[in-house]
Amino acid sequence: EPEVTQTPSHQVTQMGQEVILRCVPISNHLYFYWYRQILGQKVEFLVSFYNNEISEKSEIFDDQFSVERPDGSNFTLKIRSTKLEDSAMYFCASSVRAGGELSGNTIYFGEGSWLTVV
Amino acid sequence: AQSVTQLDSHVSVSEGTPVLLRCNYSSSYSPSLFWYVQHPNKGLQLLLKYTSAATLVKGINGFEAEFKKSETSFHLTKPSAHMSDAAEYFCVVRQGQGGKLIFGQGTELSVKP
Protein backbone atom coordinates (compact mmCIF):
# COMPACT_ATOMS: atom_id res chain seq x y z
CA GLU A 1 0.00 0.00 0.00
CA PRO A 2 1.36 3.47 -0.82
CA GLU A 3 2.54 5.43 2.17
CA VAL A 4 3.78 8.82 3.24
CA THR A 5 7.42 8.71 4.27
CA GLN A 6 9.19 11.15 6.55
CA THR A 7 12.81 11.87 7.37
CA PRO A 8 14.46 12.08 9.79
CA SER A 9 12.62 9.91 12.26
CA HIS A 10 14.29 11.77 15.12
CA GLN A 11 16.37 14.93 15.24
CA VAL A 12 17.98 16.74 18.12
CA THR A 13 18.89 20.36 17.51
CA GLN A 14 20.19 23.31 19.47
CA MET A 15 17.87 26.22 20.17
CA GLY A 16 18.16 28.85 17.47
CA GLN A 17 19.22 26.42 14.78
CA GLU A 18 17.33 25.89 11.54
CA VAL A 19 15.65 22.54 10.98
CA ILE A 20 14.21 21.02 7.81
CA LEU A 21 11.82 18.09 8.07
CA ARG A 22 11.28 16.16 4.89
CA CYS A 23 8.31 14.25 3.55
CA VAL A 24 7.53 12.25 0.46
CA PRO A 25 3.74 12.25 -0.01
CA ILE A 26 1.86 9.53 -1.86
CA SER A 27 2.64 9.97 -5.54
CA ASN A 28 -0.79 10.85 -6.98
CA HIS A 29 -1.79 13.09 -4.08
CA LEU A 30 -2.22 16.81 -4.61
CA TYR A 31 -2.83 18.17 -1.10
CA PHE A 32 -0.18 18.16 1.56
CA TYR A 33 -0.28 18.91 5.28
CA TRP A 34 1.84 19.27 8.37
CA TYR A 35 0.51 18.51 11.84
CA ARG A 36 2.34 18.39 15.12
CA GLN A 37 1.87 16.78 18.51
CA ILE A 38 3.61 18.18 21.55
CA LEU A 39 4.17 15.44 24.12
CA GLY A 40 1.01 14.89 26.13
CA GLN A 41 -1.10 17.22 23.99
CA LYS A 42 -3.47 16.93 21.05
CA VAL A 43 -2.41 16.54 17.45
CA GLU A 44 -2.65 20.06 15.96
CA PHE A 45 -3.01 21.26 12.38
CA LEU A 46 -0.19 23.49 11.14
CA VAL A 47 -0.63 24.05 7.43
CA SER A 48 -2.11 22.76 4.20
CA PHE A 49 -0.52 23.18 0.79
CA TYR A 50 -1.90 22.85 -2.71
CA ASN A 51 -0.74 23.91 -6.15
CA ASN A 52 2.53 25.27 -4.76
CA GLU A 53 0.98 27.57 -2.24
CA ILE A 54 -0.37 27.53 1.29
CA SER A 55 -4.14 27.03 1.29
CA GLU A 56 -4.68 27.26 5.04
CA LYS A 57 -2.54 27.73 8.12
CA SER A 58 -3.09 27.79 11.85
CA GLU A 59 -2.04 30.41 14.40
CA ILE A 60 0.89 28.19 15.30
CA PHE A 61 2.33 28.52 11.80
CA ASP A 62 4.04 31.87 12.26
CA ASP A 63 6.87 33.52 10.34
CA GLN A 64 9.48 31.10 11.63
CA PHE A 65 7.78 28.26 9.77
CA SER A 66 7.77 27.73 6.03
CA VAL A 67 6.82 24.93 3.65
CA GLU A 68 8.08 24.12 0.22
CA ARG A 69 7.72 21.56 -2.51
CA PRO A 70 11.19 21.85 -4.03
CA ASP A 71 10.66 19.15 -6.63
CA GLY A 72 7.98 16.77 -7.81
CA SER A 73 8.20 14.44 -4.85
CA ASN A 74 9.36 16.14 -1.65
CA PHE A 75 7.42 18.39 0.71
CA THR A 76 9.42 20.11 3.43
CA LEU A 77 8.76 21.97 6.66
CA LYS A 78 11.43 24.46 7.71
CA ILE A 79 11.70 25.96 11.15
CA ARG A 80 14.05 28.93 10.86
CA SER A 81 15.15 29.45 14.44
CA THR A 82 14.02 26.67 16.71
CA LYS A 83 12.68 27.27 20.21
CA LEU A 84 12.37 24.84 23.08
CA GLU A 85 8.59 24.80 22.60
CA ASP A 86 9.00 23.53 19.04
CA SER A 87 9.91 20.12 20.49
CA ALA A 88 7.20 17.82 19.18
CA MET A 89 6.33 15.01 16.80
CA TYR A 90 5.71 16.47 13.36
CA PHE A 91 3.42 14.54 11.03
CA CYS A 92 3.28 14.98 7.30
CA ALA A 93 0.09 13.97 5.51
CA SER A 94 -1.33 13.96 2.02
CA SER A 95 -4.61 13.44 0.21
CA VAL A 96 -5.95 13.27 -3.31
CA ARG A 97 -8.52 15.99 -2.69
CA ALA A 98 -9.07 18.56 0.01
CA GLY A 99 -12.34 17.08 1.14
CA GLY A 100 -15.94 18.15 1.00
CA GLU A 101 -18.64 16.53 3.06
CA LEU A 102 -19.44 13.65 0.77
CA SER A 103 -16.13 13.16 -0.97
CA GLY A 104 -15.02 10.40 1.36
CA ASN A 105 -11.55 11.82 1.04
CA THR A 106 -8.90 10.24 3.19
CA ILE A 107 -5.84 11.93 4.62
CA TYR A 108 -2.85 9.62 4.94
CA PHE A 109 -0.23 10.31 7.58
CA GLY A 110 3.44 9.49 7.79
CA GLU A 111 5.12 7.97 10.83
CA GLY A 112 6.26 11.32 12.10
CA SER A 113 9.53 13.09 12.84
CA TRP A 114 10.46 13.62 16.46
CA LEU A 115 12.11 16.98 16.95
CA THR A 116 13.88 17.67 20.22
CA VAL A 117 15.18 21.19 20.77
CA VAL A 118 17.79 21.52 23.52
CA ALA B 1 -16.36 25.46 14.85
CA GLN B 2 -16.17 21.71 15.04
CA SER B 3 -14.62 19.85 17.94
CA VAL B 4 -14.41 16.36 19.38
CA THR B 5 -14.14 15.20 22.97
CA GLN B 6 -12.85 11.78 23.89
CA LEU B 7 -14.37 10.90 27.21
CA ASP B 8 -11.65 8.57 28.46
CA SER B 9 -7.92 9.19 28.41
CA HIS B 10 -7.19 5.55 29.18
CA VAL B 11 -9.20 2.34 28.75
CA SER B 12 -8.04 -1.07 29.90
CA VAL B 13 -9.70 -4.32 28.80
CA SER B 14 -8.89 -8.01 28.93
CA GLU B 15 -8.11 -9.90 25.75
CA GLY B 16 -11.30 -11.30 24.22
CA THR B 17 -13.61 -8.77 25.89
CA PRO B 18 -15.43 -5.91 24.11
CA VAL B 19 -13.85 -2.53 23.50
CA LEU B 20 -15.71 0.78 23.76
CA LEU B 21 -13.91 4.07 23.15
CA ARG B 22 -16.18 7.07 23.52
CA CYS B 23 -16.24 10.22 21.44
CA ASN B 24 -18.66 13.14 21.34
CA TYR B 25 -18.56 15.75 18.64
CA SER B 26 -19.70 19.30 18.23
CA SER B 27 -20.59 20.53 14.76
CA SER B 28 -22.93 23.07 13.27
CA TYR B 29 -23.64 20.79 10.31
CA SER B 30 -23.36 17.14 9.37
CA PRO B 31 -19.76 16.31 10.15
CA SER B 32 -17.14 14.10 8.58
CA LEU B 33 -15.78 11.97 11.44
CA PHE B 34 -12.84 9.62 11.62
CA TRP B 35 -11.04 7.30 13.99
CA TYR B 36 -7.27 7.05 13.66
CA VAL B 37 -4.98 4.69 15.54
CA GLN B 38 -1.35 5.17 16.48
CA HIS B 39 0.70 2.17 17.51
CA PRO B 40 3.94 2.79 19.40
CA ASN B 41 6.58 4.32 17.12
CA LYS B 42 4.20 4.25 14.19
CA GLY B 43 2.26 6.85 12.22
CA LEU B 44 -1.42 7.64 12.33
CA GLN B 45 -3.47 4.99 10.55
CA LEU B 46 -7.08 5.49 9.48
CA LEU B 47 -9.41 2.96 11.13
CA LEU B 48 -12.70 4.15 9.70
CA LYS B 49 -14.61 7.21 8.53
CA TYR B 50 -18.16 8.54 8.55
CA THR B 51 -19.28 10.80 5.72
CA SER B 52 -23.10 10.64 5.84
CA ALA B 53 -23.46 7.48 3.77
CA ALA B 54 -24.36 5.09 6.62
CA THR B 55 -24.61 5.58 10.37
CA LEU B 56 -22.86 2.30 11.19
CA VAL B 57 -19.37 2.33 9.80
CA LYS B 58 -17.10 -0.68 9.62
CA GLY B 59 -13.37 -0.26 9.64
CA ILE B 60 -10.24 -2.32 9.63
CA ASN B 61 -9.26 -4.95 12.21
CA GLY B 62 -12.86 -5.59 13.27
CA PHE B 63 -13.56 -2.08 14.57
CA GLU B 64 -16.78 -0.24 13.91
CA ALA B 65 -18.38 3.02 14.96
CA GLU B 66 -21.93 4.28 15.04
CA PHE B 67 -22.87 7.86 14.26
CA LYS B 68 -25.70 8.99 16.56
CA LYS B 69 -26.87 12.47 15.73
CA SER B 70 -29.30 12.64 18.66
CA GLU B 71 -26.45 11.95 21.08
CA THR B 72 -23.73 13.74 19.05
CA SER B 73 -21.63 10.64 19.52
CA PHE B 74 -19.32 8.51 17.39
CA HIS B 75 -18.17 5.75 19.71
CA LEU B 76 -15.67 3.14 18.53
CA THR B 77 -16.33 -0.51 19.34
CA LYS B 78 -14.88 -3.95 18.79
CA PRO B 79 -16.53 -7.17 19.97
CA SER B 80 -13.35 -8.89 21.10
CA ALA B 81 -10.06 -7.19 21.95
CA HIS B 82 -6.75 -8.55 20.76
CA MET B 83 -3.35 -7.83 22.26
CA SER B 84 -2.35 -6.11 19.03
CA ASP B 85 -5.13 -3.54 19.56
CA ALA B 86 -3.11 -1.85 22.30
CA ALA B 87 -2.48 1.66 20.95
CA GLU B 88 -3.57 5.29 21.08
CA TYR B 89 -6.89 6.03 19.37
CA PHE B 90 -7.93 9.43 18.10
CA CYS B 91 -11.42 10.65 17.25
CA VAL B 92 -11.18 13.28 14.53
CA VAL B 93 -13.55 15.70 12.80
CA ARG B 94 -12.94 17.50 9.55
CA GLN B 95 -13.12 21.28 9.84
CA GLY B 96 -15.08 22.88 7.02
CA GLN B 97 -14.77 21.71 3.45
CA GLY B 98 -11.03 21.43 3.30
CA GLY B 99 -8.39 19.07 4.63
CA LYS B 100 -7.98 20.46 8.12
CA LEU B 101 -8.61 17.82 10.78
CA ILE B 102 -9.43 18.52 14.43
CA PHE B 103 -8.17 15.79 16.76
CA GLY B 104 -9.48 14.67 20.10
CA GLN B 105 -7.02 14.27 22.93
CA GLY B 106 -6.68 10.56 22.38
CA THR B 107 -7.57 7.41 24.32
CA GLU B 108 -4.87 4.96 25.22
CA LEU B 109 -6.15 1.38 24.99
CA SER B 110 -4.41 -1.29 27.06
CA VAL B 111 -5.19 -4.97 26.53
CA LYS B 112 -4.41 -7.40 29.34
CA PRO B 113 -3.77 -11.08 28.66
Pick among B51, B90, B95 to test the A interface (most A CBs inside 10 A): B51
Q: Answer whether B46 sits within 8 Å of A106, measured CB to CB.
A: yes
pLDDT of residue B71: 93
> Which amino acid is located at A75 in the chain?
F
Cβ contacts (< 8 Å) between B53 and chain A: which residues? Answer: 102, 104
Q: Spell B35-54 as b/e; 16+ CB within 10 A means b.
A: bbbbeeeebbbbbbbbbeee
| Mean pLDDT value across residues A72-78 | 92
Cβ-Cβ contacts under 8 Å for B30 (sequence gap 6 or more): A101, B52
State pLDDT tens for residues B50-100.
Answer: 877 788 999 999 999 999 999 999 999 999 999 999 999 999 998 876 678
A100/B46 touch (CB, cutoff 8 Å), yes or no: no
Q: How far is A61 from chain B (nearest CA, A)?
A: 14
Which of A42, A101, A110 faces B43 most closely, judged by CB atoms? A110
Domain with residues B1-47, CATH architecture: Sandwich (2.60)
Mean pLDDT for chain B?
92
Sheet holding A65-68, edge to edge: A5-7, A19-24, A75-79, A65-68
* Domains located in chain A, CATH noted: 5-117 (2.60.40.10)
Residue B41 CB contacts under 8 Å (≥ 6 apart), including other chains: A111
pLDDT of residue B54: 82
